[in-house]
Chains A and B, each alone.
Chain A
Amino acid sequence: MKWAIVFVFIIFSFCTFGQSKDRDEKVGHIYLALGQIFTPASFRIGHKFIEAGVLNREAVGINVLYRSGISYVAFGPILDLRDGMPGLYGGVGLIFDFFRVFGIRLEFNGSYGGSAFGHGEGLIGTSFFY
């Protein structure tokens, strides 16, 4: 399992930026979110449907974000902050856009480090499109 996660991490790292699908998104966005006990937990910079940054309190990495209406799924490779091991991240959430300038975004996510640390977090945040 550990090596499967490492394999996926390597594949993602090289391939996610090569995606060329045209999404109904503005070019970029910045996402700031509060996690446990409403303290800052996530900071991401996004380009179209790819985001990178601190995904939750225990993970940094990149993820793809596919929308369908107001719901979305996020998936990608991470580095676990507790021991630096590669891992996986998955999240599901809702986005409410306001005038395509900013949006309220609610997300539940889980991350899993290759050396077996798991973390789940509920995020409440704001996206700013630019």
Chain B
Amino acid sequence: MIKYLTLITLCASSYLWGLDFSVGSGLHSVYAGRAVPIIYAGLIGENVAITGHSSGVESTLAYQSTFQGNFFIRKIFGKLLWGNLSGGAGVGMVYSSRGFRIRPEHFATRERDYNGGPVIRASWNLFFPVYLTIEAFFGIKSYNPLINSWQHSTVAVMEIRI
């Protein structure tokens, strides 16, 4: 029920505030690991964008769920071939939960963590409602960014804007 209400609210917001509602799917490489499929949604305005996605995997021995929300200031930089090329920069927040057990009959250990930091996106209008987007998140959770070393996670998405 909450999912449907969220979806209706997001759709309504496109009419209320003149934002495009974006849905999509793609792949997420969490903290530079192998990729898992994601569900992606966003509100895309002329100068701002709010996006979020969730990804997860589960087996009898391990699971991982990751949720990410981003806010971007965006700009259309020009036309690349036939479609607009836009870029954006902003801040994002990641919540990750994962568990592991040595044998299927054991209890799973559970770890959670939060991370926040800068995030960028580059999006190209492949054809009318379809956009190809790359989003990269750079987590700040320690002093590593001082030496330009970030906890990065990258998303490649095929999104459809309504």
Residues of A whose CB lies within 8 Å of any CB of B are 1, 4-5, 8, 11, 15, 19, 21, 34-38, 64, 66-68, 71-75, 87-92, 108-112, 116-122, 124
Contact = CB atoms under 8 A, between A and B. Distances in A.
Interface residues of B, number: 42
A92 B152 contact: no
A120 to B, nearest CB: 3
A110 B154 contact: yes
A116 B156 CA distance: 9
A12 B88 CA distance: 21
Nearest to A34: B148
Contacts of A37: 147-149
Contacts of A67: 77
B29 to A, nearest CB: 3
Contact of A89 (B27, B134, B148, B155): B134
B26 interface: yes
Contact of B132 (A4, A71, A109, A118): A4
Contact of B149 (A11, A36, A91, A117): A36
A31 B29 CA distance: 27
A36 B149 CA distance: 5
Contact of A1 (B34, B85, B149, B156): B156
Given A64-B85, A75-B124, A110 B135 contact: yes
Contacts of A88: 132, 134, 156
B132 A108 contact: no
Contacts of B27: 1, 112, 116, 118
